[in-house]
């Protein structure tokens, strides 16, 4: 990718005024879709994503059922109005791939063996896209899964790191993704300390790769705090602040 302008100014500030270690503003609300068994709405920078979880429920078509565990189904979809130029609503190859990596990022945390012959459906709808929508989608999806009361080993938090102007930065935004050097989305289980999603495009030396890995994991831990608060807020309301103090 060719760089057209400086994306980090002389004060170390990025195009949106953040430092290299700062996340965009994140807001998560759990339980926004009343009909769903679990749901979450996330605003991650300019991303606006709503996730609904249905299940565990009967599998349709029935032949897809697995006798020893639950089927996890995942759909990542972008609304036609979510991008600068209208996106064709038919699923693109990119969305098919993201649906797959998203499912594989969530699956390690779910105790699918608890619900044999059933299905859990995770619908991720991107209403407004800004760089890093797969990470924001995974983050919201795991809040929605927890909200649905599904047995989980841990929560999954996701965040990207990357290279902009030869510096390793946290949480690449849309401009940096399109004009910058490298983008590395990562999903992480903060308690089990395991990585469930890792992708990279762009060129990194081994040192930069390792730095990116560390930075993205630090970002995931910050994301985790927001997820935790969203769940506390839904289940304990204003009481959650009191519990925090204790």
Partner 1 sequence: MSSSKRSTVIVEHLRRQQMWESISRGKRLDGRNLDETRVIEIEPGVIKKANGSARVKLGNSEVVAGVKVETGEPFEGLENKGALILSAEVLPIASPYVEPGPPDEETIELARVVDRGIRESEMLDLNKLVLKPGEIVYVIFVDCSVVNADGNLFDTTSYAVVSALINSKMPVFEIRDGKVVDTGQKVDPPITTLPVSVTAVRIGESLILDPNAEEEACMDARITITTNSDRCFTAVQKGSTGAFTVDQLRRAAETAKIKGDEIRTKLRELTNVGR
CA 165 to chain centre: 25
In this complex, which beta carbon is closest to partner 1, that of residue 140 or of residue 213? 213
Contact between 210 and partner 1 by CB under 8 A: the answer reads: yes
Q: Are 133 and 221 in contact (CB under 8 A)?
A: no
Contact between 97 and partner 1 by CB under 8 A: the answer reads: yes
Using only C-alpha atoms, the chain has a radius of gyration, in whole angstroms, of 18
Contact between 75 and partner 1 by CB under 8 A: the answer reads: yes
Please give the helix or strand (H or E) that residue 104 lies within, else none.
helix 93-106
Contact between 63 and partner 1 by CB under 8 A: the answer reads: no
Near partner 1 by CB under 8 A, which window of 18-26, 96-104, 144-152, 221-229? 96-104
Among 100, 113, 235, 239, binds partner 1 (CB under 8 A): 100
Among 53, 102, 145, 220, binds partner 1 (CB under 8 A): 102
Minimum CB separation of residue 217 from partner 1 in Å reads: 7
Contact between 170 and partner 1 by CB under 8 A: the answer reads: no
Size, binding site for partner 1 by CB under 8 A: 43
In this complex, which beta carbon is closest to partner 1, that of residue 22 or of residue 194? 194
Residue from 1, 12, 49, 53 nearest 28 by CA: 49
Contact between 211 and partner 1 by CB under 8 A: the answer reads: no
Among 23, 118, 127, 192, binds partner 1 (CB under 8 A): 192
Minimum CB separation of residue 177 from partner 1 in Å reads: 13
Contact between 217 and partner 1 by CB under 8 A: the answer reads: yes
Whole-angstrom CA distances from 153 to 110, 141, 192, 235 are 6, 15, 8, 19
Helix, coil or strand: residue 151: coil
**Cα atoms in the Cβ-side hemisphere of radius 13 Å centred on 63:** 0
Q: Are 138 and 158 in contact (CB under 8 A)?
A: yes
Contact between 201 and partner 1 by CB under 8 A: the answer reads: yes
Contact between 194 and partner 1 by CB under 8 A: the answer reads: yes
Dist CA 116 CA 90 (whole Å)? 32
Contact between 87 and partner 1 by CB under 8 A: the answer reads: no
Instruction: Give the count of beta carbons closer than 10 Å to the beta carbon of residue 90.
Output: 8
Residues that bind partner 1 (CB under 8 A): 64, 66, 69, 71-75, 93-94, 96-97, 99-104, 107-108, 112, 121, 184, 189, 192-206, 209-210, 213, 217
């Amino acid at each position: 990718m060719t760089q057209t302008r400086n994306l980090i100014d002389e004060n170390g500030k990025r195009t949106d005024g953040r430092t290299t270690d700062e996340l965009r503003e994140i807001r998560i609300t759990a339980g926004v879709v009343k009909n769903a068994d679990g749901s979450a709405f996330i605003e991650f920078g300019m991303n606006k994503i709503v996730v609904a979880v249905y299940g565990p429920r009967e599998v349709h078509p029935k032949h897809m059922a697995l006798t020893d565990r639950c089927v996890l189904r995942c759909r990542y979809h972008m609304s036609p109005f979510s991008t600068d130029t209208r996106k064709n609503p038919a699923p693109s190859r990119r969305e098919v791939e993201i649906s797959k990596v998203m499912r594989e990022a969530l699956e390690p945390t779910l105790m699918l063996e608890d619900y044999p012959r059933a299905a859990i459906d995770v619908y991720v709808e991107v209403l407004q896209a800004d760089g890093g929508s797969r990470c924001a989608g995974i983050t919201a999806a795991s809040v929605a899964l927890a909200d649905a009361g599904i047995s989980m080993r841990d929560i999954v938090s996701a965040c990207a790191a990357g290279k902009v102007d030869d510096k390793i930065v946290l949480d690449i935004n849309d401009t940096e993704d399109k004009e910058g050097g490298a983008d590395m989305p990562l999903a992480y289980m903060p308690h089990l300390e395991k990585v469930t999603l890792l992708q990279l495009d762009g060129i990194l030396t081994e040192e930069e790769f390792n730095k990116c890995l560390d930075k993205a994991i630090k970002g995931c831990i910050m994301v985790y705090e927001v997820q935790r608060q969203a769940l506390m807020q839904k289940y304990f309301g204003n009481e959650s602040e009191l519990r925090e103090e204790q």
